[in-house]
Amino acid sequence: MLINDRNIKTWSLIGQRATFGMIALDLIKENNDLMILTSDVSTSAGLDRFRKTYPNNYVDVGIAEQNLIGVATGLASEKYKVLTTTFAPFQTLRCCEQIKVNLGYMKYKIIMVGLASGLALGSLGFTHASIEELGVLRSIPNLTIVSPSDCLELAKTVEAALKLDKSCYIRLTGTSNNPIVNRNDYNFEIGKSVQLKNGNDLTLFCNGPLVYNCLEAAKILEKENISTSVVNMHTIKPIDKDIILEKINKNKIIFTAEEHNIIGGLGSAVAEVKSSVESKCKLIRLGINDVYTKGGSQKYLQELNGLSIDKIVYTVKNNLNK
């Protein structure tokens, strides 16, 4: 896709789901063997134009997510490039057995796009909010997992995922007016983190919508002479071990921040790396504290779960000198 200031602003305005639809229209021009499958979410996934323009490259299986992965596997076995998409909890947990067997065990390649993950659909309650799927998918072999920080990173992720030799889960979040993290083109590599800010006192490891929040929190901390690194850990599996080891050797304390249960997601992945070496560095995990709270907007639930900008600042300051 053409990456320029105008497109970056447009993608931010329309959000990740609509941006995904634009990406699909661009990809089909150079990949006539591309197939996109959905579960009754053509409009929600921004795919109405794709569906109408390329009807032979689009399949809607209806609200039948197990079939979604089954049909996608059949197409993948015939060497098609296959993307599937529906809302995150249905794209992952509802068809988990099919993902385990077809993608993990049998190694068929499918790119799964989970819409409105994390707390994005929190207003509909935790039937639709998705805070558990990373813990499940991380335990399935032969899966790559990426949580893009903004719409530009989403475009780069889809392009990179097509070049992988294994399946990939891409975790979209938010609705329209998606905050911009990356205002210019940059080198993106699955499995390689991006250090957005370098500091000496502590590190904030983050992904998805929490990258923007952590960058803003770091600005506030800098005004109070707290030098903060911010690392965009867009890839959760395979995790970038090198940057984690570098920071735990440099800092006395590190933090993870994610719109996910603190069990099983980014925080757990960082803790696993940290536990492999002797270190006095302290790790604080920010996320949903293994509970289902009441429903509400993404902004409200971030505040409730300590993931808003101000709450991140508070937690850092409260733990820095303990």
- Structural domains of the chain, ranges and CATH numbers in brackets: 5-171 (3.40.50.970), 194-320 (3.40.50.920)
Q: Tell me how far apart the alpha carbons of residues 284 and 90 are, in angstroms, rounded to a whole number.
A: 30
- Look up residue 127 and give its two tokens: 């039937």
Q: What is the reported pLDDT for 14? A: 95
Q: Tell me how far apart the alpha carbons of residues 17 and 36 are, in angstroms, rounded to a whole number.
A: 14
Q: What is the reported pLDDT for 321? A: 79
Mean residue pLDDT across the chain: 96
Per the omega criterion (within 30 degrees of 0), is the bond before 55 cis?
A: no
Of 171, 172, 220, 179, nearest in space to 197 by CA: 220
pTM of this structure: 0.96
**Could you tell me the strand order of the sheet in which 34-38 lies?**
58-60, 34-38, 81-87, 111-115, 167-171, 143-146, 235-237
Q: What is the reported pLDDT for 3? A: 86
Residues above pLDDT 70, as percent of the chain: 100
pLDDT in tens, 156-187: 999 999 999 999 999 999 878 999 999 999 99
